[in-house]
Amino acid sequence: MAPTARTPTARTRDDRRATTRTARLRTRIPEPDEEPDLLGQYLTQIGATPLLTAEEEVRLATRIEAGVRAREELEAADTGEPAPTPGRRRALEETVHDGQEAKDHMVRANLRLVVSMAKRHAHRGLPLLDVIQEGNLGLIRAVEKFDHTKGFKFSTYATWWIRQA
């Protein structure tokens, strides 16, 4: 007896069923007793930002510092100092925004450092995600306090702040 041949339409219909079944499995909502893979999702998201070179760290730190100085100048004008001209105010606001973007980029690029340090300390009674969250607060503080003029790499400096968190 000859093997039965499938028609192209039958194969397409079966492929569609498999695709639909797979899509349903991927999008199904986990049961309350199931824990979603939050750590896996987080690691995927933070892996999208490439690591920084030493030169990029210096450039970002310079932009952050300029943004902080611009914010201080704007706040000084609000507390009674002579107000800057509208053009100068707009330039200061743009510098503040650029400094904030540089800070965000520097934090995102170093989130993997926090995860690697948190993995070493997670087994001490706290869940790994909680340790990562605390470490992220330390990382943000390190970005705010980093002085690129001293010549150290940011990761060396940030390690201390992450441990303190």
Q: What is the 3-state secondary structure (H, E, C) of 112-160?
A: HHHHHHHHHHCCCCCCHHHHHHHHHHHHHHHHHHCCHHHCCCHHHHHHH
Q: What is the pTM of this model?
A: 0.73
Instruction: Count CA atoms closer than 13 A to 102's CA, side-chain side.
Output: 22
Q: Which band of pLDDT confidence, cut at 50, 70 and 90, is reported for residue 28?
A: low
pLDDT averaged over the chain? 84
pLDDT in tens, 38-51: 888 999 999 999 99
pLDDT > 60? residue 31: no
> At a CB cut-off of 8 Å and minimum separation 6, what does 13 contact?
none
Domain definitions of the chain by residue range: 51-109, 110-165
**pLDDT on residue 114:** 96
Average pLDDT over residues 9-17: 54
| CA 88 – CA 95 distance, rounded (Å) | 10
Residue matched to tokens 């909680």: 130
**pLDDT on residue 132:** 93
In this prediction, what percent of the chain has a pLDDT beyond 70? 78
Task: Taking each helix axis as running N to C, give the angle between helix 154-164 and helix 111-121, from 0 to 180 degrees, rounded to the nearest 10.
Answer: 40
**pLDDT on residue 58:** 95
Of 67, 62, 157, give the one whose Cα is nearest residue 110: 157
